[in-house]
């Protein structure tokens, strides 16, 4: 997994992430997106790489950005940014910490809230009132919050978390994501009244920038 927005900021992929950032910024001018869950229909479709690079571009635009790893089953953001997994989100909940253990990344304006230690039941933890309080606390500290969540059709975590934020962005990988999986994920989120702001396509042919569509 590569933070191409840092290692090669002039690349077409980096420009595509900046385009995605712009599209999200102008999604609703009356009610700007301040909290966003990024997930995928199934596993290994590039959601964590996508949200990490999107967070970098958000921070580079001057917005105070908090990136939270809520994939408590298979956390990876701490690895991408070469930071410790603990303390993190689960430590806040299970140990009743009052202050979020935010870690400064190498990118100005970007902080990581790592996953923390693996909990016995991630869905119950994410659905707790304590997580609502944590999100409210993070909102006081940042201009934008991005939450990495597990795949939609695998577990309930993304749906539970999606109901707590402004919207959900689905990551679709060209040549990998199955149409029926994408449709099932969309239906699952909509049935739970979770707001889908759109989807972004990764792993597209090199002559096509990573794009996004909005409903």
Set out the domains of the chain in order of their start, with CATH numbers: 27-203 (3.40.50.300)
Q: In Å, how far are 12, 54, 131, 145, 182 from 208, measured between CA atoms?
A: 9, 18, 38, 28, 21
pLDDT along the chain (215 residues), means of 10: 88 93 84 93 93 97 97 96 97 91 97 96 95 96 97 95 96 92 95 94 65 43
What pLDDT, on a 0 to 100 scale, did the predictor assign at position 96? 84
What is the CA 212 to chain-centroid distance, rounded?
15
Q: Encode pLDDT of 5-50 as tens digits.
A: 999 999 999 999 999 999 998 887 677 899 999 999 999 889 999 9
Q: Which H or E run includes 144?
A: strand 144-148
The predicted model scores a pTM of 0.92
Cα angle: 24, vertex 74, 213; to 5 degrees: 20
pLDDT given for residue 206 in this prediction: 61
CA triple 66-72-78, angle to 5 deg: 50
Residue with tokens 């958000």: 58
| pLDDT of the residue at 32 | 83
């Amino acid at each position: 997994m590569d933070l191409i927005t840092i290692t090669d900021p002039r690349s077409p992929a980096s420009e595509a992430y900046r385009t995605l950032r712009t599209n999200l910024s102008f999604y609703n001018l009356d009610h700007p997106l301040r909290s966003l869950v990024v997930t995928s229909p199934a596993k290994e479709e590039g959601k964590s790489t996508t949200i990490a690079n999107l967070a970098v571009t958000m921070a580079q635009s001057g917005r105070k950005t908090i990136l939270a790893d809520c994939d408590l089953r298979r956390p990876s953001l701490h690895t991408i940014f070469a930071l410790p997994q603990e303390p993190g989100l689960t430590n806040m909940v299970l140990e009743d910490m009052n202050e979020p253990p935010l870690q400064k990344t190498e990118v100005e304006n970007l902080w990581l809230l790592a996953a923390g230690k693996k909990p016995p039941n991630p869905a119950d933890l994410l659905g707790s009132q304590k997580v609502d309080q944590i999100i409210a606390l993070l909102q006081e500290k940042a201009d934008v919050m991005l939450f990495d969540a597990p795949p939609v059709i695998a577990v309930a975590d993304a749906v539970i978390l999606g109901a707590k934020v402004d919207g959900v962005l689905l990551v679709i990988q060209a040549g990998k994501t199955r149409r029926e999986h994408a449709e099932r994920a969309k239906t699952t989120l909509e049935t739970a009244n979770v707001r889908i702001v759109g989807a972004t396509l990764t792993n597209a042919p090199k002559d096509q920038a990573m794009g996004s569509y909005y409903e």
